[in-house]
Amino acid sequence: MSLQGIDHFVLTVSDINAAVEFYQALGMERREFGAETGKVRVALHFGAQKINLHRAMGEPATPKADNPGTGTADFCLIDNDLTDVARRLAAVNVPIELGPVARTGASGPIRSIYVRDPDGNLVEIAAYERNS
């Protein structure tokens, strides 16, 4: 067996609509799924990945983490244009907490900016450095 990548991960959020609005500013698309089970859920899609959203209160999703909570995530998303990302964030009044700064991504050197989503999760947005 050999792991090949990440298909999706789950964020526990206090307000699904606020989370969707934030991540749509980054270019993600809201999609609903699960209608066939009678329990419609919300996910954010981008590229070949998705983030499922669980509400912190009132959504008994199973299985789930032992101690799901808001504001506990810290993850990195890849974009190809940090200038454009900064512009989109400024347009919706999301301050950049740090950056751009040099970091190391899974495949080499990256430049990163850091922001907080509505629940306080640390979202790193990075672009791989281009070889000249």
Residues 68-117 pLDDT 10s? 889 999 999 999 999 999 999 999 999 999 999 999 999 999 999 999 99
As annotated, the active-site residues are 124
Boundaries of every domain in the chain: 8-128
The span from the CA of 21 to the CA of 44, in Å, is 10
Tell me the average pLDDT of the chain: 92
**CATH number of the structural domain 8-128:** 3.10.180.10
Can you read off the two tokens belonging to residue 92?
């919706």
pLDDT of 132 reads 37
| Buried b or exposed e, range 25-63, using 16+ CB within 10 angstroms | bbebebeeeeeeeeeebbbbeeeebbbbbbbeeeeeeee
- The larger pLDDT score, comparing residue 33 to residue 61, is at 33
Helices (H) and strands (E) in the chain, counts: 2, 8
